[in-house]
Structure 1
Amino acid sequence: MNLSTRSKPTEDASGQGNSRDDALSLAVQALHTPDFFPAMIGLLRRAAPFTGAFVTTLHPNRAPTHVHDNVRAERRRVVIDDYLESAYLLDPIHDVFLSGATDCAVRLRDVAPDHFRRSTYYKLYYGNIDLRDEMALLIRMPGGSALFYSLGRIGREPRFTARDLAAFRRQLPLIGSLSRKHFENRPDEPPYGLGQSITQALEQFGTDVLTAREREIAGLILKGHSSASIGALTGTTTGTVKIHRKNLYRKLGIGSQSELLSRFLQSVMR
């Protein structure tokens, strides 16, 4: 690369130099300061462009902790508060974390259930935030938690490509080292929102009327699995799954997936 090109970096929307070396230098300088995560977002944009950024700490047995976001004030209720209060329970990325995967980069569409985009949850949450695509970075942290960088493209922006994914994966060792360094010798932050896992929430949902199998199938429906996918996961036929769905709807006095989601969220918020 020509040295004259490197000596005069261009600027991104935040006014910060946008060469990788400049972005890395800013992130290192910002360690242990409030400027760290804005600097990290600038560094991550060197791998591939994105618009939205929402950073949380995921915990095995309680709700995520808010860390940083660049969401406009008028959008916070829909994008931030709804996620931290209950939407995280049905997030495929949260499931990836619960499976034990950390220090990884994944695209939402690569880990979501087969009918996720048709699910009421997707339409109500992701539809409201106008998310086009999401890249997730999960960074291992002490105590079994993980730092979750949610990077979003919205509206008509293009989806993340395989090349984008590879670029973020190359950055993981650096992002992980910087993130862990930033939190060194800092006490864990208090939990934000509800203190339960999806397993606990579903175990308690409809216990007075639903069988254990019906609660399991209700959870898979809410996450966006098709009847065929649920059958494969539970070792039953598609026809049996449909019967269970019909029975649980009847027992709950509902007639649609949107009513099922509403009933589930009501039980979570009690």
Structure 2
Amino acid sequence: MGSETNLTLQDVAWHDAVGRLIETLDQPNFWTALVRLLRRYVPADNWVVLIFSSGKPQVLAESPGLDDGLDLLFQEYLKGLYLLDPFYLANREAPKSGLFRLEDVAPECFEQTDYYQRYFRLNVLADEVHINVQLDAERTLSLSLGSQAPFSTEQVALLGLIHPWVAALMRQRSVFEQELKHAPELPPNWENHLESTALQISSSLSAREMEVGRLMLSGCSNKEIARKLEISAETVKVHRKHMYSKLGIKSQSELFLLFLQAQE
């Protein structure tokens, strides 16, 4: 006797949809069609397709803003806020393919940062997942899905099941992306701008102080910063104290405002 095949209508629908999607690999509407398919299984309120590299992220496609206009908050992200994005930072620290949840990459104090309060919860909303495809040693193709509510365990598990299909389609699509052929813009030199913007600087910030400041703004606790930089937590506090003194500020919020000014 032959083995019994348990094929559901949902299985048939998925394979039919993927087949249709393959036909659009070289078409302008591919990314929209892919996200539309994913939304049948996992709700997403916004999305963007990016290339992460050592330079400024390159946008390949994104969900439209209000009235199909430009998403102004996302433009702030591209100007320099991406330097505080936990997904961007995690990818730069260890580029690799896979499915990543916000809780996988967010620093310990992420929800307490000005970046989270002033950008993430307004633009990305409550939760985010990324499907990453590492194209080479330098570049990672990333599909971000944002949601008004946290993704459930079941939804993340479902994304994990279909991830190999989606990643394969993304890799095949990369062949047709013209943006991949252009060199990415370099990140803004916000360190130098901080020094020229602050009014009460006694001397230049050291490279280590700048690194501590960036990690603080991204939501890393003193212990996380100490681990990443291989120094003690007490040394982190000393660097922070010196940085605040040189910049003439007293809080992380003031440092974030200087960071924003550096993008203008």
TM-score (normalised: structure 1) = 0.80
- Tell me which residue corresponds to 2:90: 96
Change (3 A) 1:232 1:244: same
- Asked if 1 retains the 8 angstrom alpha-carbon contact of 2:52 and 2:58, the reply is yes
Query: Deviation at 1:50?
Result: 1.8
Query: Which amino acid in the other structure matches residue 252 of structure 1?
Result: L
Give the unaligned 5+ runs of structure 2: 1-5, 197-202
Q: How far apart are the structure 1 equivalents of 2:66 and 2:40? A: 26
In the alignment, which of 47, 57, 73 is matched to residue 64 of structure 1?
57
Partner residue, 1:16: none
Deviation at 1:206, TM superposition (A): 4.0
Instruction: Report the alpha carbon displacement of residue 97 of structure 1 after superposing the two structures with TM.
Output: 1.6
Q: Which residue is equivalent to 1:162?
A: 153
Shift of 1:45: 2.6
Contact 1:217 1:241 in 2 (8 A): yes
CA–CA distance in structure 1, aligned partners of residues 159 and 44 of structure 2: 12
Q: CA deviation at 1:114?
A: 0.3
Whole-angstrom CA distance in 2 between matches of 1:146 and 1:137: 10
Identity %: 28
Residue aligning to 1:184: 175
- Alignment-mate amino acid for residue 176 of structure 1: A
Aligned Cα root-mean-square deviation (Å): 2.9
The 1:99/1:236 distance shift into structure 2, 3 A limit, reads: closer
Correspondence 1:242 to 2:233: no
| 1:108-131 CA-partner distances (Å, limit 9, x unpaired) | 122111001101111111132261
Are 1:129 and 2:123 counterparts? yes
The CA distance in 2 between the partners of 1:87 and 1:30, in whole Å, is: 33
Are 1:65 and 1:191, in contact at CA under 8 Å, matched by a contact in 2? no
Q: Does 1:152 pair with 2:143? A: no
TM alignment of 1:1-270, pairs within 5 A: 19-59=13-53, 61-73=54-66, 76-129=70-123, 131-142=125-136, 144-154=138-148, 157=149, 159-184=150-175, 186-187=177-178, 188-190=180-182, 194-196=185-187, 201-202=190-191, 206=195, 209-269=204-264
Tell me, what secondary structure is at the counterpart of 1:152? strand
Aligned pair in 2 of structure 1 residues 100, 174: CA closer, same or farther (>3 Å)?
same
Change (3 A) 1:115 1:163: same
Q: 1: CA distance between counterparts of 2:177 and 2:146?
A: 28
Q: Which consecutive unaligned segments of at least 5 residues does structure 1 have?
A: 10-18
- 1:201: Cα distance to partner? 5.0
The CA deviation string for residues 131-186 of structure 1, in whole angstroms up to 9 with x for no partner, is: 110011111225731211110111xx2x1233333322332322222122223265
TM-score (normalizing by structure 2): 0.81
User: In the aligned structure 2, how far is the partner of 1:180 from the partner of 1:237?
Assistant: 41
**How many Å separate the matches in 1 of 2:235 and 2:59?**
41
Cα 1:144/1:232, change in 2 over 3 Å:
closer
What amino acid is the match of 1:63?
K
Partners of 1:105 and 1:254 in 2: CA distance? 39
Instruction: Judge which range, 103-112 or 167-176, deviates more.
Output: 167-176
In structure 2, give the amino acid aligned to 1:212: A
Contact 2:46–2:124 under 8 Å retained in 1: no
Does the CA contact (< 8 Å) of 1:107 and 1:136 recur in 2?
A: yes
In the alignment of these two chains, the number of paired residues is: 251
SS at 1:184 equivalent: helix
Task: Measure the CA separation in 1 of the matches of 2:84 and 2:71.
Answer: 18
Q: The residue matched to 2:175 in structure 1 has which SS?
A: coil
Question: How far apart in 2 are the matches of 1:141 and 1:233?
Answer: 26
